[in-house]
Structure 1
Amino acid sequence: MEIHVYDTYVKAGDGHIMHFDVFTAEKDDQKAILHAKKWLASIGEAKAEVSSKECQFCHSQQAPDDVLDSIKQQGYFIYQLEGCPGHTRAR
């Protein structure tokens, strides 16, 4: 299954930048923004600004099964990158 990736940068409440990708089954900019807001609220960052300026379509790609399972269950998958609570640096 092909998924769509939205590259997202938002400023957290403490001022640091969080970089993450929103993976969706539909190429729909507004839904990607809503998914980003929902995830941000779930980690205590509900006040972070997310618009088409911060969350932009990047590319489409094939997805592994765990990502597809998440998309089927909740409509999206968040791939955490720099500055996110679940991101760890490679050694």
Structure 2
Amino acid sequence: MKIAVWDTYVERPNGERMHFDILVPSDLEDKDQVYAFGEQYLESKPFKTGALDSKKCNFCHFENATAEVETAILQKGYYILEMENCL
């Protein structure tokens, strides 16, 4: 499966900057849907965060999905790859 990678940064109240990628099917072009996936992820966190917006969430590139990512995307439509300050 080919996926689109959306590079995302969100500020935390403690001043740290979260960095994560939102991975979606390559044919998903609706930015609002990608942002909604990001908001769902942020709501799952036990801490508050800043808002997700177009200045901090941008399409980055296409790549091939791993089996784990493909399974998650088929089940819920997206996958979050946590990179920095997400815990």
**TM-score, normalised relative to structure 2:** 0.89
Residues 11 and 49 in structure 2, CA contact (< 8 A), matched pair in contact too: no
Distance 1:38-1:45 versus aligned 2 partners, 3 A rule: farther
Over aligned residue pairs, what C-alpha RMSD do you find? 1.3
SS in 2 for 1:35: helix
State the partner residue of 2:9.
9
Query: Structure 2: which 5+ residue stretches go unaligned?
Result: none
Query: Structure 1: which 5+ residue stretches go unaligned?
Result: 86-91
Q: Which has the higher contact order (CA 8 A, sep 6+)?
A: 2
Structure 1 segments of 4 or more deviating over 4 A? Answer: none
Amino acid at match of 1:55: C
Percent identical: 35
State the partner residue of 2:44.
42
Q: CA deviation at 1:45?
A: 4.5
Q: Which whole-Å CA distance do the structure 1 matches of 2:75 and 2:13 have between them?
A: 28
Q: How many residues align?
A: 85
Deviations 1:30-68 (A, max 9, x none): 111111100000013555211111110000110011101
Q: Which whole-Å CA distance do the structure 2 matches of 1:78 and 1:19 have between them?
A: 10
State the partner residue of 1:88.
none
Q: Which whole-Å CA distance do the structure 1 matches of 2:61 and 2:79 have between them?
A: 15
Q: CA deviation at 1:27?
A: 3.1
Q: Which whole-Å CA distance do the structure 1 matches of 2:4 and 2:32 have between them?
A: 13
Q: CA deviation at 1:13?
A: 2.7
Q: Which whole-Å CA distance do the structure 1 matches of 2:68 and 2:61 have between them?
A: 19
**TM-score, normalised relative to structure 1:** 0.85
SS in 1 for 2:53: coil
Residues 20 and 79 in structure 1, CA contact (< 8 A), matched pair in contact too: yes
